[in-house]
Each structure stands twice: as C-alpha cells, then as structure tokens.
Amino acid sequence: MGCSVVVASTVEDGLAINAAPSPLDAALHGVTLVGRQGTAVVGALSIRGVLFVFPTGYVEAPLPRAYRGHASVQKRFTESLIREALMAFMGLKSV
C-alpha cells in the first residue's frame, strides 16, 4: 500500500507510538488490545489528529459509545478493503 507499518499489541505500546515524534497518517486500531479496551489509544490518536479505522468482528455494540458509527471494516477483510477504508476516511481516491 506504500506505507510504513508500526505494530502495537498493547495499550502501552499504542500510547508510546502515539507519543513518539514520528508522523502518523492513519491507524488501524482494534477495539481491544490484549483483552483491554483501547479507548486511551484512540483518544490519544484523535487528539493528535490521526485518522483511524476499527477492524472488527462486531457490528456496533462493543465499540465504545463515543466511536459507534466510526469507520470500520469487518473481520475477514482483505488488504484492498483496508486500503479502501483508509483512503476513503482520509478523503483520497483509491489507487
């Protein structure tokens, strides 16, 4: 997709990556990270202005109330679905 990928598997990792000075254009963020709600991470991403998409197996209920209706892709997704969701959310045409 022409991007650099940084992986965070815990809430602490996600917060550390978000706090780093390197640029983040967009994020794919799970609802939970190692069994913990990731609301602190998505809150920090939002404050920083980083766009994010939830990959999820759920429709709406398990998403934090503040993020229900937020961009998401249903699990069993493909790279092209992830690309389309991120591009659409960033207001860019798909390549």
**Residue 61: both structure tokens together:** 């209920």
Angle (CA) 18-20-23 rounded to 5° is 80
Per-residue pLDDT of the chain (95 residues; tens, 9 = 90+): 566 778 888 889 889 998 998 888 888 877 777 777 778 888 898 898 888 888 877 655 567 778 777 777 877 878 888 788 777 777 777 65
Angle (CA) 43-31-8 rounded to 5° is 75
Q: How would you classify the pairing of strands 51-56 and 72-74? A: parallel
The predicted model scores a pTM of 0.71
pLDDT for 60 equals: 55
